[in-house]
């Protein structure tokens, strides 16, 4: 399990279209993580998207930018924790 406070302020990208109460965030839209909350035993990531919307997303809907131009997909574990999907990282990201 990772410290979700480490996600605050990180850049991310929508892995697919995300439909929410404010509208639609298209796939590949980038944004900045504001905070992470726990709701009904699941984690939600609040993102301020570059298209002007601020919406919650599930961990499997976003990829985190670790280094410039490098995005690491998140994986939502069965216990509700968030981990990086290190299997999809390139060698220079380790």
Q: Considering only residues 93 and 25, tell me which one the structure prediction assigns the higher pLDDT.
A: 25
Give me the number of domains the chain comprises. Answer: 1
What is d(CA 94, CA 5) in angstroms, rounded to the nearest whole number?
21
Q: What is the CA radius of gyration of the chain?
A: 12
Measure the CA dihedral 18/20/26/30, to 10°: -90
Q: Residue 93: what pLDDT?
A: 40
Torsion 76-84-39-13 (CA) sign = negative
What is the value of pTM for the model shown?
0.67
What CATH number did the domain enclosing 13 receive? Answer: 2.30.30
Residue pair 53/22 in contact (Cβ under 8 Å)? The answer is yes
Domain range spanning residue 71?
Answer: 4-93
Residue pair 93/70 in contact (Cβ under 8 Å)? The answer is yes
pLDDT higher than 70, residue 92:
no
């Amino acid at each position: 399990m990772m410290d979700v406070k480490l996600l605050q302020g990180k850049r991310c990208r929508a892995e697919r279209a995300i439909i929410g109460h404010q509208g639609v965030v298209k796939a590949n839209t980038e944004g900045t993580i504001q905070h992470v909350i726990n709701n009904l035993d699941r984690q939600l990531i609040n993102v301020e998207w570059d298209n002007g919307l601020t919406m919650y997303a599930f961990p499997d809907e976003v990829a985190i930018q670790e280094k410039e131009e490098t995005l690491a997909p998140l994986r939502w574990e069965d216990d509700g924790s968030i981990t990086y999907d290190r299997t999809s990282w390139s060698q220079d990201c380790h």
